Chain A
Amino acid sequence: MRDFLPRPEIAPAVVWAFPAPRRARLSNGIELIIFDLPGQHVISAHLVLDIPLNAERAEIEGVATICARTLDEGTKHHNGEEFAELLETEGAGFGLDLSLSGTQIVLDVPASHLDRALELFAEAVTEPSLADRDVNRHVQLRLAEIEQAQANPAQAASIAFRAAVFEEAKRAARMNGGESETVSHVTPEAVAAFHHDHFGPAGATLILAGDFVDDPVAVAERSLGSWSNDDQRRIIIEDPAPGPRRTLLIDRPGAVQADIRFGGFGIDRLDPRWSAISVGSYAMGGAFLSRLNAVLREEKGYTYGVRMNFGPLRTGGSFAVQGSFRTEVVDDALAITRELIKVDEAPFTSQEVNDAVAFFTGVSPLRYATADGVADQAATQVLAGLPDDYVDRSLALLRSVTPEAATETYGSIVNPDELTLVVVGDAERLADPIRSLGFTDLEVRTSAGSQT
């Protein structure tokens, strides 16, 4: 065998920019954002409706989700199954994404079928039947879905964490699709009223991305340009607020692992600290050899993976260290985590900062090379109130983050002594070890009730 080749150098990255859209306006005021992407044969269409989830009445939270899920169960022109059949025959996929800041209704369809598919899509959005039987079934299916989510330890941990980390009164504290107590009160009348009050062209944005066969402006105008709703009500989005710090153990007798969420209230993308915290959290818990994963997975073998995740909302947000650990090592994993997430004596290094910046910069061209990748990001920007060139701007800001700024920002947001802890696991084996780590305020929640 010949001598080995030295490790190759990396050639500098070429300049890249997020695709620039063209904008237009339909005759009813709907804002149109169009991305022409050659070679992308599946068109991605996102209709973004300005319906924050706090538009739901408190006693029927979940109504927005039931309404959205019933849209494609039949329209005024095409009853029941006929509608879904027509849409699927066009090779189209219909999807939904409900977030606290608004509702997205998504269509994916081969370019040659956009015209007909968008017409059907518009029918579902503007003139759905919302039949009693369909609404009632979706209520029951949502209740079953909640049971499934609560039975999954990772999902149960995330649900309990958001309930703790946000102030109880805020919509952000509860599941986007609503909790059992309120979903069970959603009626067909309430769904019809929600659609009537909140679905309309005002504040709506239609994003279209792909390699178009027909003029997308004309196609959009034909399908959605004449939609009107004189009764449409616009609701101002509610700002979330932090809840009091808590330490919670949710019992899952006999579980072989515990799912952990350890975090607090965070910041949003418009916060001037966003770029610095993106760098800091990547170094702490984003990279494969992040401080957390390098020790807890690669050195100790305690977990399949641990990460620190920041979830921005329109304003504020949350963050958490999250992972699952076998029951025997949970206390040690927590003790190690609590030390590792401190940066005051171990500030971020310039190597860590450079690696984070290179990662975010390098992955962007691919992430935004497809129609759905671009349309997803554009929709996120609409919902978060960000400009068209947000990706380029945020990458430029990342490149100016210094190790000092990353460390200082991280320290200003992540205070290890004030974090909320949620553990979903075997309480009998975990309660004492967790208490002896100093989490003396531990609340244990069993099927029989809560105790401290």
Chain B
Amino acid sequence: MTSGALTSLSYPIVEQTLENGLRVISSPDHIAPSVAVNIWYDVGSRDEEQGRTGFAHLFEHVMFQGSAHVASGQHIALLQAAGAVVNATTWFDRTNYFETLPTGVLDLALWLEADRMATLLDALNQENLDNQREVVKEEKRQRYDNVPYGDVMELLNTLTFPPEHPYGHTTIGSMEDLDAAMLEDVHSFFRRHYLPNNAVLSIVGDVEPEDAFERAEIYFGHLAAGAKPAKLDGGPLLPLSGMPRTETADKVPADAVYFSWRLPARGSRAFDALDLAFSILGHGQTSRLHRQLVRGSEHAEATGASTMGLIGGNSFGFSYARARDEVSPEQLEQEMSDVIEQLLRDGPTEEELRRAKAQFERHWLHELARVDSRADALGEYATLHGDPNLINSRIAEITAIEDGDLRNAMQEWLRPDQRATLIYRQEQG
């Protein structure tokens, strides 16, 4: 048997929906005179059209270029000058905008967010778009094109999903598509996705729920709803078949091997079970890949495995190992494969399962300890799963997963013929 959770959670969570469909979530916490404001828009790179990869992220940049009553760059500048930390991110399933601030700055933050939700297009011009296109291209160069192994994510996406699938391309997109983005694209993307009824506003910290809802109504209540956009439906797809395989070579310090898998969508017991399986496989010093390839055979300098939970029909999972000198990628591939097949055949040990759950628990407690990451988690669970209260029950859900859940999910999704392989070779010369 497995032990119960170390901790049970009861963060207060109150939700209200404004008449225009904006969901507002409040979670009061008076530990510090700070408030986290977080808006999840239900739009990500999965919603991009063909020939416009990278657009959701480019759009996120444009959101900081001003609106009817806010000059370019002033969204961040005004908030920073009031003691706030501000940022935004784009991913396959979402675009989130967030700021954490002293309590007395809450009205300003809500006003700024509402102004761009209502009037972004009033301030948009070709110059702003062109400038942020250049900034995003620099971001792509800095984070992907000019670093070793920077194209791995793109290669694995391509191996794992069909090209026209919503997850078949990366969030950063391609240079060609970024170059092709036009002002009209910004207009239509904004009108289609940036609607109060396509967003979740979380207000967490030093403010009581009635107060939070009242302010949300003041600043967002007058915005008009629109037609909730339909989701591009990619799945669910079956597990990978045909053992797709790619090799590439570049100036990297070591050969490396990557495996990737299609997994079930997040929000299912099977996905949670597989998440624990990947943790047992490749997370931390006691993981099987580390024990056998880094410590045991000493053929790898680093190993890892992780899931990437996605909502649109399927998730994604991968593992990797980087070779020590004199070790061929083929040898490493065989060893990785053996480790995974052994886990598939014998299942996890009771101790391994217990450790994976304990590590999840610490990670989750850590995540919720800060008002800013708690606000983000609330937006995430409200947007993707329809229920922010799930953040309080995640530990119990994970604790309830049993050995048989892992075995079944692995048999269904992680068999050797269900993976893709990427060999990354060190370019000679």
Contact = CB atoms under 8 A, between A and B. Distances in A.
Contact of A89 (B137, B142, B322, B351): B351
Nearest to A351: B81
Interface stretch (A5-13, A176-184, A386-394, A413-421): A5-13
Nearest to B254: A144
Contact of A113 (B6, B34, B74, B77): B6
Which of B104, B111, B294, B371: most chain A Cβ within 10 A?
Answer: B104
B138 A289 contact: no
B100 interface: yes
A158 B379 CA distance: 37
A91 interface: yes
A22 B103 CA distance: 28
Contacts of B136: 304
Contacts of B91: none
Interface string B28-42: 010111100000000
A72 B372 contact: no
A347 interface: no
User: How many of chain A's residues touch chain B, expressed as a range?
Assistant: 35 or more
Interface in A289-318: 289, 294, 297-304
Interface in A316-364: 324-326, 354-355, 358-363
A268 B133 CA distance: 39
A194 interface: no
Given A5-B219, A13-B102, A257-B146, A147 B254 contact: yes
A297 B366 CA distance: 34
Interface stretch (B82-90, B333-341, B380-388, B414-422): B82-90
Contacts of B359: 88, 91, 93
Contacts of A288: 73, 76-77, 80, 86
A112 B253 contact: no
A354 B81 contact: yes
Which of B86, B132, B146, B219: most chain A Cβ within 10 A?
Answer: B146
A301 B128 CA distance: 10
A39 B31 contact: yes
A300 B131 CA distance: 7
B111 A363 contact: no
A40 interface: yes
B298 interface: yes
A5 B218 contact: yes
A4 B351 contact: no
A14 B31 CA distance: 13
Interface in A80-131: 80-81, 84-85, 88-93, 108-113
A90 B361 CA distance: 10
Contact of A14 (B84, B103, B147, B370): B103
A303 B143 CA distance: 12
B370 A369 contact: yes
Given A81-B291, A151-B252, A326-B141, A88 B83 contact: no
Given A298-B131, A363-B85, A303 B77 contact: no
Given A12-B104, A72-B285, A89-B355, A41 B138 contact: no
Contact of A148 (B86, B142, B148): B148
A226 interface: no
Given A72-B285, A151-B148, A90 B358 contact: yes
A448 interface: no
B219 A148 contact: no
A20 interface: no
Interface in A141-166: 141, 144-145, 147-148, 150-154
B34 A301 contact: no
Contacts of B218: 5
Nearest to B105: A10
Contact of B362 (A38, A93, A301): A93
A358 B141 contact: no
A38 B31 contact: yes
* For the complex of A and B, 4 pairs with smallest distance between CB atoms: A362-B83, A301-B134, A11-B104, A91-B358
13 contacts: A1-B118, A7-B108, A110-B7, A137-B295, A287-B80, A301-B132, A304-B139, A326-B138, A359-B83, A363-B85, A366-B371, A366-B372, A371-B369
